[in-house]
Chain A
């Protein structure tokens, strides 16, 4: 593709993403933050983010797909174990999970 079309793609994609953000601002200016509609949108965003993360771990499209589901779940379990063991420190959980994933991937192939 030409340089011009690649630039066009980047800028158009940025604008097309910004539309959603701007719409969010428009909506938020019009609603009551204590109301039922806000509560529903709040639930939708939590469900979306949780779904996205669940997909990244359980049905990954990244290189993680090469690792078995059992290995991925084991690494998540180790991460949560370390997280609660070390007074809910995120660093402890992430470090334990990431390292155990690397170790299992290296050993199990």
Chain B
């Protein structure tokens, strides 16, 4: 049975967000908030960065380069590059949402709301939700975690919570761990191959071209995964 009904889907989205991702974003954005303060940004600027950039790798690049006194062009370029993954992520996400025909402004708004959390969680949950209610699930989930992220940014900025170092490590660790667990359940041979080769590629890419390592891992790992899957498909057919 697929889930359907606005209230059912919205409740599930809210519960799914509150079960982990909202807390994870709260804590990771706390880290961003305190770094942003150190780099000289105001509380409003930091909160607005989380809301409008809405991609941590880019936000971190912005804060890091600003604190080392780089020029504006270099900062914006590095931030943009660190968030370039949104292009393929939007492309793979929109058809899975099965929203049908939406106007361009609405699609852009959906794209602005997308983050790595929503991407991973929604792609995992969509198969269990009736297509016409998937968009509702996505918007509820994404705006809940965005809200948590903004509160986290402000909390970190004002240094409201001081935790012992070992606990901070546990909290930092939770974010990649969550994604690793979510992705371990991804079905589909092509996707699985791509993820494996993405991990292999990034080791090399990180040493050779650290600023674009994620893009290289995606391009190379994804292409190998795609090709390998096609090759195996063809061999089975013949």
Contact = CB atoms under 8 A, between A and B. Distances in A.
Interface of A: 1, 3, 5-14, 16-25, 27-29, 31, 33, 36, 38-59, 62-64, 66-67, 72, 75-76, 79-80, 83, 88, 90-91, 93-94, 97-99, 101-103, 105-106
Interface of B: 19-20, 24, 31, 40-42, 45, 48-49, 52-55, 57-59, 62, 66, 69, 72, 75-77, 79-80, 83-92, 94-95, 104, 107-108, 111-112, 114, 116, 119-120, 164-186, 190-191, 193-199, 201-203, 205-206, 213-215, 217-223, 225-226, 229-230
Given A51-B201, A90-B181, A44 B222 contact: yes
Contacts of B120: 49
Given A38-B91, A55-B213, A63-B168, A48 B104 contact: no
B111 A10 contact: no
Contacts of B108: 21-22, 25
Q: Chain B interface secondary structure, helix, strand, loop or mixed?
A: helix
Given A43-B194, A49-B119, A13 B91 contact: no
A-side binding surface: helix, strand, loop or mixed?
helix
Nearest to B120: A49
Nearest to A102: B170
Contacts, number: 292
